[in-house]
Amino acid sequence: MEAEAAGRPPGRVEAALSCFSFNQDCTSLAIGTKAGYKLFSLSSVEQLDQVHGSNEIPDVYIVERLFSSSLVVVVSHTKPRQMNVYHFKKGTEICNYSYSSNILSIRLNRQRLLVCLEESIYIHNIKDMKLLKTILDIPANPTGLCALSINHSNSYVAYPGSLTTGEIVLYDGHSLKTLCTIAAHEGTLAAIAFNAAGSKLASASEKGTVIRVFSVPEGQKLYEFRRGMKRYVTISSLVFSMDSQFLCASSNTETVHIFKLEHLTNSRPEEPSTWSGYMGKMFLAASNYLPAQVSDMMNQDRAFATGRLHFSGQRNICTLSTIQKLPRLLVASSDGHLYIYNLDPQDGGDCVLIKTHSLGLAFPFSFTTRPGGGQSLGSLWASSPPVTEGRQETMSCHCPLTWSSPGGPIWCPPQLCQEARRTSLPSLDVKCRG
């Protein structure tokens, strides 16, 4: 679940983060910057604890942590063909491997480590880092699109099988054999993801309008969801919840879509003997006589819930996690922020933004949605770190955040002022006199 930050639109400052990834069970967030990398724990909504940070390797563009262990894999733009594996608690390098071309992505579980280049995939045994298999001559894969099931008992691998269509190759990382190919989409692939058990595979094409879910290893289509019809989008991340009840998709738009995977039955239950039930039967029967594309569109399910972002056009990744016993939607963005939303697992609807954490500053801070904020993002106030009150003379830039202090202005440090103005949150009223 890694994403490399894309460039900002003209007139915006450079992206704060070069890469970011959630670990396999969504309990940790890793970020890469020009200075190095950081690891954060996701055990609390209110507080984002930094587990580890390193400036030894600059210009990091891939960083992946193995679950909540001390093993972290890092790739830097200074040596884009070299993978470095570290034990960060001991502060030691376990090993490093060099490859024939630039490393585009890395995936890992407790048994296997995948290194994806543009035209080949390397499969390592993670326990001793022995190279088990090299999959050569794959179709050109410039984004390094691939997926590895986190269930180490199967270690399924998925990667694009065509340059022109949305064909997926399903590979067994244990037996080191190809299982099947799936004709997932007419257009080329943009995203693929396994569920936690490795029994389902989700995919989206470059159009980004339709998301499909297939059984693994059979490759049969189970679900089909429609993200939207109005415009094509670029899907930046696709992820199942850990219990496989939900599927989340984020893109270059301001909306994150969450789909609910209803329980499948072998036979459709009888409709009730009502007018609506009768019309439902007639509608289903009529769809059988329509062209395949029209019939498919009628049978596609829409989003169960949505999360609204205050930006669009920025690279981001999403995940669904249970934090403090409640389901949450998390979105990490290249603007240097982590957004946390509440998800209603029963009724869905609009997810409520409850916390915004800054990731990229030397002095990270966070915003909390004030209770009673209505349907908007609400009023926000700085909550971390503690800011200096009434010491205007010590600051090079003075921003009285009058909305955050019942007793009067709170004077923020320059980093907070610059960050608040840079992000331009719609409900953040900052007046700078500096």
Distances (CA, A) of 104 to 33, 62, 83, 144, 296: 16, 8, 11, 5, 35
Distance (Å, rounded) from C-alpha 225 to C-alpha 408? 50
Give the pLDDT mean for 399-415. 37
- Per-residue burial over 233-269, b if 16 or more Cβ lie within 10 Å, else e, is bbbbbbbbbbeebbbbbbbbbebbbbbbbeeeeeeee
- Token pair, residue 343, equals 């998800």
Distance (Å, rounded) from C-alpha 24 to C-alpha 55? 24
The residue behind tokens 């210009």 is: 59
Query: Which CATH number applies to 2-262+293-360?
Result: 2.130.10.10
Summarised one tens digit per residue, pLDDT across range 3-44 is 443 333 333 334 579 999 999 999 999 999 999 999 999 999
Q: How confident is the model at residue 262 (pLDDT cuts 50, 70, 90)?
A: confident
Q: What is the pLDDT of residue 264?
A: 60
Q: What is the pLDDT of residue 233?
A: 87
Summarised one tens digit per residue, pLDDT across range 213-239 is 999 999 999 999 997 656 678 999 999
**Average of per-residue pLDDT values in the chain:** 80
Distance (Å, rounded) from C-alpha 365 to C-alpha 382? 7
Close Cβ partners of 160 (under 8 Å, ≥ 6 residues apart) = 138, 139, 141, 145, 166, 167, 168, 169, 188, 189
DSSP 145: -
The residue behind tokens 């403090």 is: 324
Summarised one tens digit per residue, pLDDT across range 164-179 is 999 999 999 999 999 9
Distance (Å, rounded) from C-alpha 358 to C-alpha 335? 9
Distance (Å, rounded) from C-alpha 349 to C-alpha 287? 28
Summarised one tens digit per residue, pLDDT across range 38-56 is 999 999 999 999 999 999 9
Distance (Å, rounded) from C-alpha 238 to C-alpha 244? 13
Close Cβ partners of 331 (under 8 Å, ≥ 6 residues apart) = 250, 256, 307, 309, 316, 317, 318, 338, 339, 341
Distance (Å, rounded) from C-alpha 294 to C-alpha 47? 48
Phi, psi (5° rounding) for residue 284?
-65, -40
Three-state DSSP state, 102: coil
Tell me which amino acid residue 38 is: K
Side-chain half-sphere of 35: how many Cα atoms within 13 Å?
Answer: 10
Distance (Å, rounded) from C-alpha 31 to C-alpha 175? 33
Identify the CA nearest to 352 among candidates 335, 376, 383, 334.
376
What ranges do the domains of the chain cover? 2-262+293-360
Q: What is the pTM of this model?
A: 0.77
- Token pair, residue 44, equals 């609390």
